Chain A
Amino acid sequence: AQSVTQPDIHITVSEGASLELRCNYSYGATPYLFWYVQSPGQGLQLLLKYFSGDTLVQGIKGFEAEFKRSQSSFNLRKPSVHWSDAAEYFCAVGTSGTYKYIFGTGTRLKVLA
C-alpha cells in the first residue's frame, strides 16, 4: 500500500542550528515527492518538489531535500534554522494517474531563541 511516514512528530532546534526532517515513502512506481509547510491556521505552501533528475533539490527559504531511492527517503534539510521556520512540515507523494497526494502525518518544528 502507498504510504508516507514522518517518524518525528515534534522536533525542537535552537535558532541557527541545522535541521533535518525525515520522510520515508512506500510507492510502487517512481514517486513524485513534495515538502509543504503550514503555519498555524494557514494553508500549505510548497517548499520543494522532486519529479526526476538531480536527486538533491533546492527549494524556497533555504531548504533542500535529497531523494534516496535505495532508502525510500526524501529528507528535508536546512543548514541554519530561523525562528520564522517554526511551523508544521508535511511530506507528500504524488500518485500518477489520479494526481492525488498522500500526506505524511507531519512534523511540528519548534525553534528556540
Chain B
Amino acid sequence: GAVVSQHPSWVICKSGTSVKIECRSLDFQATTMFWYRQFPKQSLMLMATSNEGSKATYEQGVEKDKFLINHASLTLSTLTVTSAHPEDSSFYICSARLPRGYEDIQYFGAGTRLSVL
C-alpha cells in the first residue's frame, strides 16, 4: 500500500513552453502533497506544500507564478512549470502525506526529469 505515481518520468521541452507533471496517490487519499526539486548529487529542496482544495504554500525563493500547483482532488496534485527555461532543468519529486494514527509519513513518487532545451 501507499503508492505514489508520478508522470511523466522524463520530459524534454523547448524553452518557453510549459510542462505539467502529475502526482497521484494510487491507494490512499492525500490532503497534503509536497513538491521537491533535486539538483544532481544534491539533497531534496522543498518547493511547495500542496493542499487539496486550497492554494499551495510556497517556500521562500520559489516563484509561484513559475511553478503553478493545483491540488484539485484527494488523489491528484499537478505541478506546471510555466515558460520553462534551461535553468529549470532538474529532477522534480512529489510526495503524498499519509497520516496513520500518531504516525505521519510521506510517500514519494519516482520523480520526473525535466530537460529544457
Whether B108 and A36, one on each chain, are in contact in the complex, defined by CB atoms closer than 8 angstroms, is yes
Closest to A50 in B: B103
**Chain A residues whose C-beta falls within 8 Å of the C-beta of B103 in the assembled complex:** 49, 51
**Chain B residues whose C-beta falls within 8 Å of the C-beta of A104 in the assembled complex:** 43
Whether B43 and A90, one on each chain, are in contact in the complex, defined by CB atoms closer than 8 angstroms, is yes
Whether A43 and B105, one on each chain, are in contact in the complex, defined by CB atoms closer than 8 angstroms, is no
Tell me if B34 counts as interface (CB < 8 A to partner A): yes
Classify the interface of chain B: helix, strand, loop or mixed.
Answer: strand
Interface residues as binary, A73-103 with B (CB distance below 8 Å gives 1, 0 otherwise): 0000000000000000010001000111101
Band of interface residues on B: 20 to 34
- Beyond A44-B93, A90-B44, whether A101 also contacts B111 by CB under 8 A is no
Q: Identify 9 new A-B residue pairs, CB closer than 8 A, beyond the known A52-B102, A100-B49, A104-B43.
A: A32-B104, A42-B111, A43-B108, A51-B102, A90-B43, A94-B104, A99-B49, A99-B97, A106-B42
